[in-house]
Amino acid sequence: MTVHIAAAAIRPAAVLPVESAVQILDALAARDVSRGGLWNATAGVWQRYDRPWTGPAGSRGGAELVGSIAVVYDRPRRHEITLFKVTLTAVGREHGFTADSLCDDALAHAGLSLATCPRAELETPPGQDPFADREHVDMPRQRTLGELLNTDVLTLIGLRRA
């Protein structure tokens, strides 16, 4: 699959205070794509999809990635979350998303927007995106946690029987 992307750095970076970070992470977890929601939040990126994942075994199915928000936990201070980059796909742009509106979709769960979020300059910005110079990125299908755990369990069962 080929995804056409547009990326924007958030400068100065948006910093979520501890209380807001907890509210947003709880909301994104409750709205996880595997549970009928639109978000897939991991340790380094929050991904927004156009619809829940309804494929076999909890896979993505026909859901399309709208965009991603790159985040760093515990920066600049412990328990805070820093948003430093937004990436939109062609699907996201077709749905009318902008860098600001994608962030606002997540931040609204704590009563924030990108415009009202506290800001800070990162001392050392996260490393350069290895795909930054590529207009088109071939994206492998992302496996769900269920698929990963299932594969590991099946592998362990197979090893145990051998």
* Per-residue pLDDT tens over the stretch 121-152: 766 555 555 445 555 555 556 656 555 555 55
Per-residue pLDDT tens digits for 87-125: 999 999 999 999 999 999 999 999 999 999 999 876 655
Cis peptide before 17 (omega within 30 of 0): no
Helix (H) or strand (E) holding 49: strand 45-49
Distance between CA atoms of 114 and 105, rounded to whole angstroms? 10
Domain count, the chain: 1
Look up the domain containing 134 and give its range.
2-161
Q: Residue 126: how many CB atoms within 10 A of its CB?
A: 15
pTM for the full predicted model: 0.73
- Residues β-bridged to residue 85: 9, 70
Q: Is the pLDDT of residue 69 over 80?
A: yes
